[in-house]
Structure 1
Amino acid sequence: MSIIPKDGRILITGASSGIGEAYAIKLAGRGHKLSLLARRKDRLEALAQRLRSDFSADAETIVADLEDAVHLGRLEERLTRDDFSGVINNAGAGGLGFLADSSTQSVERTVTLNIVALTRLSRAALIAFKRKNAGLLVNIGSVLAHAPSPGGAIYSGSKAFVLNFTRSLQMEFAETDVSIQLVMPGPVRTEFFSSQGMDGSVFPAAAYLSADELVEAALAGLENRELVTVPSLPDLQSWERLETIRREFLAATMSGKVADRYGAGDPALE
């Protein structure tokens, strides 16, 4: 039995291209009812028409800008009220560039889309899912959550939030029938770089997955009950070792004393 509920609509944000479009095509092919959200009406309508034609899909379009507080509020209200069975928080912004050279607008856009909108839509969805003890939340993170880098402070920082936020939610809902998946892509061939005037050569060409490959792997991970899916990671033990070290680090910080390297054990400082 599939873990993806069939009894309600699945909302996909950022559905007009890339990863969101790939989710829409694959879920429509599996017979799911979809609500496709994006800012670009023409591309959104074209995708919905394609899904109706190819799969006889029930695909509605929601033209909205998640940076707009009014649009975001309306969507929150609908998620808590209407019969949605799933939410895929895919919409986001790149925000690459050195912080001191970035505009206030670009910084705010990345934080609003990657953190504020994702958080508020997750909350609205989980209010409804908790009420009926069923539902699916998928948050799209990034392996760059583990990669602080020059020019990536805002993006990497925002995805670190998505990582810890989603993992914490999984713990909150561990004893329920609500499913929460974190997808951690590496480089993906989408409009991510071109939309920022970049050619994508920051990563080797061989490092890229297509959006279709990414989503196919993410859905397979979901069916395998993975809490965290890293489609381009060949050896799952790498993730397991990272988690083990993280837990050991946290345990070690509970020593209740200042470490010797800060002078606590040096008689000359007493």
Structure 2
Amino acid sequence: MTTTALITGASSGIGAVYADRLAARGYNLLLVARREDRLNSLAADLQQRYGIEARTMVADLSQPEGIQRVETVLQEDASIAVLVNNAGAAALSPFLSSTAQQHEAINTLNTTALMRLTLAVLPRFVENNRGTLINIASVVAFHARAGSAVYSATKAWVLNFTRGLQEEFADSNIRIQAVLPAATATEIWGHSGITLDALPEGSVMTTEDLVDAALAGLDLGEPVTIPPVENVQLWEEWEAARLALFSAARNGKPASRYTHR
């Protein structure tokens, strides 16, 4: 049976490139996004170029009904062997400039939908002892700035959620990868409040380079892939510092700076 890759946020940007690259690898596709016209155009193009089957599903994953529709497909379609949780949104602006409802919509899309879709597909992955889960986080998972409180928090959540799953399923054949893009040329900037022109020259990666690097990282077995970082020792040092800090916190008593005053 030909396997299927379900990709969220597939109508443009990173999701559309994942669709192209996975179709080139022979996967059938189930493309999920809000914009039906773009989904249908992409599906028709990929079917014509690669001879695969590309289905579409219109769903708004910031809304409960949209999440539920995709959950049902993930639970019932036994051909789905890859889930790319790519759908996301950002509002890079002062925290007080958005309403609770706007913040909640971003949080739901970036975290709750990702968690629920993962929960919908993992039981079958476990039953088959195979499957691939790709969660798109961001380098802002470990760097929050003014104006990115909610977005950075959601991406830190995605990274920690993914790493927890990697620990939980380490002894299985399920592949689980977190991808951490830096600035990438996608439409998210047009909706975030910051334009690409405002970013330093040379700091923006193309979506094609981003996805190609991420898939190369997946093929290499990387649990965490940060496409633009050349010096992998930086990640290794970050990991060592993180583990040392965690270990130092496990001594059961207050630090002396809090008791000797």
The alignment's TM-score, normalised by the length of structure 2, stands at 0.96
Is the partner of 2:75 in helix, strand or coil?
Answer: helix
| 1:20-57 CA-partner distances (Å, limit 9, x unpaired) | 00001111112111100010000010100110121122
Deviation string 1:191-243 (CA, Å, 9 cap, x unpaired) is 11112343124431211110000000000000000000000000111101100
Q: State the partner residue of 1:210.
A: 206
Of residues 86, 107, 111, the one that matches 1:111 is: 107
Structure possessing the higher radius of gyration over alpha carbons: 1
Among 233, 254, 261, the alignment partner of 1:258 is 254
Contact 1:79-1:128 within 8 A present in 2 as well: no
Structure 1 residue 93 and structure 2 residue 89: aligned?
A: yes
Q: Residue 189 of structure 1 aligns to a residue in which SS?
A: coil
Distance 1:99 1:19 in 2: 26
- Write the distance in 1 (CA, Å) between the matches of 2:197 and 2:71: 37
Matched, 1:36 2:42: no
RMSD value over aligned CA atoms?
A: 1.2
Percentage identity across paired residues of the two chains: 43
Alignment partner of 1:179 out of 164, 175, 179:
175
- Cα pair 2:59 2:69 within 8 Å, conserved: no
Pairwise CA distance, 1:256? 1.4
Structure 2 match to 1:127 = 123
The reply to whether residue 55 of structure 1 matches residue 59 of structure 2 is: no
Deviation at 1:74, TM superposition (A): 2.3
Name 1:3's counterpart in structure 2: none
User: Residue 59 of structure 1 aligns to which amino acid in structure 2?
Assistant: A
Aligned equivalent of 2:65, options 65, 70, 74: 70
Question: Partner amino acid for 2:38?
Answer: R
Contact 1:67 1:117 in 2 (8 A): yes
Q: Provide the residue aligned with 2:218 in structure 1.
A: 222
The one-character-per-residue Cα deviations of 1:45-74 (angstroms, maximum 9, x if unpaired) are: 010011012112211111111122122112
1:187 is displaced (CA, Å) by 0.4
Does the C-alpha gap of structure 1 residues 254 and 197 become closer, same or farther in structure 2, counting only changes over 3 Å?
closer
Q: Is the 8 A contact 1:38 1:44 kept in 2?
A: yes
Q: Secondary structure at the match of 2:102?
A: helix
TM-score (norm 1): 0.93
CA–CA separation in structure 2 for the residues paired with 1:75 and 1:144: 27
- Contact 2:93 2:148 survives alignment (8 Å): yes
Q: Which amino acid aligns with 2:40?
A: E
